[in-house]
Amino acid sequence: MGKRPKKQIVLFLVEGLSERNALWTIMSELYEKIDENAEVFFCQMEEDGVVGGDITSRNGVTPEKIEMLMHKLVVGPLLDKENIYPKDVTEIIQIVDLDGAYIPDENVVFPSEPLSEEHPVMYYADRIEANNVQGIRNRNLRKRANIDYLCSRKEIKVKTKTVPYSVYYMSCNLDTFLHRETNIPTGREKCDKAAQFYSQFDGDAMLAAKFFINDQDVAHGRTYEESWAYIRQGYNSLRRFSNINLLFEKLLTMING
């Protein structure tokens, strides 16, 4: 059996490798500045050998089931793989792409020409174009219900342990916020751009944190609850915005005392 992790475990629940490539090193270094015994893990949904995906929009996931399924499909596999005891998990943070989930149904429309099977959905500042319009409307309904529930939670369960929890968003998605490109065509390109994002800070996690805090399109002057109320309005969940600055502000306050 391999070496066990440290005993102050922070779990980040994310959709894919792009989030890990962009944020894992930054978060790891910041948490270690707060507590040298802290260790950060990024975990993704795993089911039947398939890794990654958005649990908030997954078919069959409802507010009544989402905490159980988050443990079964996201947290549990990571704990088993990394030999982590539930008692050592001190915080869970989830990062979600909003994907225009809060726009009106009438702004999900058919494209003027059918999109490819590889890319059947396109996001714009005021609409979503999709080959399967009703499918995207149904997805948005599920996603809204699950995210609204998660926003109301301050704690979630890891087996029998209650752990502090919070959820932050990227709008329209991670690529929109980091690169100002919403419809990046391939997963490889998304991951490469995410890795390049961190390299621009020359390994300085504090400088990276300040990028998120000082960006013009973050939740300046808003509380956590207010930031979520804002993103539900109009087309905001399609446009470049994030409340992750609130997390970075909290971490820098803890570092600086």
Question: Is residue 111 a part of any domain in this protein?
Answer: no
What is the full per-residue pLDDT of the chain (257 aa) written as tens digits? 557 777 899 999 999 999 999 999 999 999 999 999 999 999 999 988 899 999 999 999 999 999 999 999 999 999 999 999 999 999 999 999 999 999 999 999 999 999 999 999 999 999 999 999 999 999 999 999 999 999 999 999 998 999 999 999 999 999 999 999 999 999 999 999 999 998 999 889 999 999 999 999 999 999 999 999 999 999 999 999 999 999 999 999 999 97
Question: Is residue 238 a part of any domain in this protein?
Answer: yes
Chain-centre distance for alpha carbon 215: 18
Question: Is residue 1 a part of any domain in this protein?
Answer: no
Question: Is residue 149 a part of any domain in this protein?
Answer: yes
Question: Is residue 158 a part of any domain in this protein?
Answer: yes
**pTM of the complete model beyond 0.85:** yes
Cβ(160)–Cβ(109) under 8 Å? Answer: no
How many domains are there within the chain?
1
Domain encompassing residue 206:
8-101+144-256
Q: Which residue has tokens 């991951």?
A: 191
Question: Is residue 47 a part of any domain in this protein?
Answer: yes
User: Which residue stretches of the chain are H helix?
Assistant: 17-34, 66-70, 76-82, 133-151, 174-179, 187-199, 205-214, 224-231, 245-256
Question: Is residue 25 a part of any domain in this protein?
Answer: yes
